[in-house]
Amino acid sequence: MHVRRGLVGLEDQGPAGSRGRGAAGHPGRAPAERAAFTPLALGPRAPRQPERCASHRRIVARPLRVPQVGTELRPAGVTGSRRPVGFTHRLTQEASGGAGSAMELAALVDRSLPGEGSLLDRASTVSRDSVAHAARRPGVRPVVTALRGNEWLGHPIHPVVVAVPIGAWVVGAWFDVRSAATGDARDEHAADGALRLGILGAVAAAVTGIVQYVDTRGAVRRETAVHAGLNNLALSLYVGSAVLRRRGHRPPARRLAAAGLGLVALSGFLGGDIAFRHGVGVRPQAWDAPVSRS
C-alpha cells in the first residue's frame, strides 16, 4: 500500500491543494488506469533514492548523492571513469594496482622527512614566503606568469625544462665512462660539453621550479624544499666537476659528476612523488573529464 501510494505520488506533481492525497487527488481516474501504473511502467530512468519528507506524508524522490572525494565513478557499460578532485591517494593505489611497494615507498618518504615545527619546516616556510612576496610585485608578476607556462604552453614548463639537465648529464656520464676506458679525447670533449649544457639547463629548471614552490603547503612544501636542496647540491657538484676538468683533474671530476647524477636520480624520485602523489602543478579540472581505459 505504501509503495503504490509513493509511486502515484511520484507521478502526480499537481497543485498544492492536491499534495498528500496520492490517488485520491484524482477522483476521476479509473481504478484500471491507476493499477496500470507499476514500477515496470517507469522505464529506464536514472536511479533514485526515495526519502520521506518531514512536511508531507508522500514519498519524495531525490537523486542519488555524489560519492565522496577519493571514490571513482564507473558507469555500467561505459569504458571510462571520472576522478573527482582530491585524487592523491587514489591515484597512487590505482597506479600500483593495489601493490604495497609503491605505497611503502610513499610511506618511507613521509617518515623520512622531518615533520611540522622542525628546522626544515621553518626554513621552507621562510623561503616559500620570501619567494611569494617577491612574486607578488607588480613588475615581477608578468615574469612569474611566463615562467609558469600555464597560459602560453597549456601546462607548467618545469617538467619540460628538467629533461634538459637530466638528459645532458646522463649522456655526459656515458662519455665519461667511454673516455675512462678508451682515453679518447673526443669522448672527453663530448662529456665536457654535455656537462656544461646540463648546468645551463639546471639553472633554467631551478627558476621554473621556484615558481611552483610558491603553491606548496605543509608536508608538500617540506618535500619540495628537500627536492630543491638536492638539485642545488647536484648542481654544485657539477660546477665543481667542470672547474676540475678545465684544470686537467679529470678523475676527481668524473667522481663528482657521478655523485651529482646520483643526487639527481634521488631528487627526480621526489619530484615525481610531488607531482603524482601530491598533484603539484596538476590542474584539478582535468580529472573531471572521462579517462578512456583500454
Per DSSP, the residues of 248-259 read T-HHHHHHHHHH
Mean pLDDT of 9-36: 47
C-alpha triplet 195, 199, 204: angle, nearest 5°: 145
The residue assigned the cell 649522456 is 171
Residue type, 250: R
Of 287 and 125, the structure prediction assigns the larger pLDDT to 125
C-alpha cell at 231: 638539485
Q: What is the pLDDT of residue 36?
A: 44
Q: What is the pTM of this model?
A: 0.63
Residue 164 scores a pLDDT above 90: yes
Choose among 197, 207, 190, 191: nearest CA to 166. 197
Q: Which residues are within 8 A (CB) of 209 and not within 5 positions of it... i.e. 6 or more apart?
A: 158, 162, 227, 228, 231
Question: How many alpha carbons lie under 13 Å from residue 27 in its C-beta half-sphere?
Answer: 0
Looking at every residue in the chain, the average pLDDT score rounds to 74
**Could you give phi then psi for residue 62, rounded to 5 degrees?**
-125, 145
Helix (H, G, I), strand (E, B) or coil at 62: strand
Q: Which residues are within 8 A (CB) of 199 and not within 5 positions of it... i.e. 6 or more apart?
A: 165, 235, 238, 239, 242
Q: Count the neighbouring beta carbons within 10 Å of the beta carbon of residue 151.
A: 8
Q: Confidence band (pLDDT; 50, 70, 90) for 33?
A: very low
Of 217 and 67, the structure prediction assigns the larger pLDDT to 217
Choose among 124, 99, 81: nearest CA to 226. 124
Residue 270 scores a pLDDT above 60: yes
Choose among 140, 205, 196: nearest CA to 168. 196
C-alpha triplet 198, 200, 203: angle, nearest 5°: 105
The residue assigned the cell 676538468 is 245
The residue extents of the domains of the chain are: 2-63, 113-280
Lowest pLDDT segment from 22-36, 92-106, 133-147, 252-266? 22-36
Mean pLDDT highest for which of 32-36, 68-72, 266-270?
266-270
Distance (Å, whole) CA 246 – CA 96:
46
Residue 187 scores a pLDDT above 60: yes
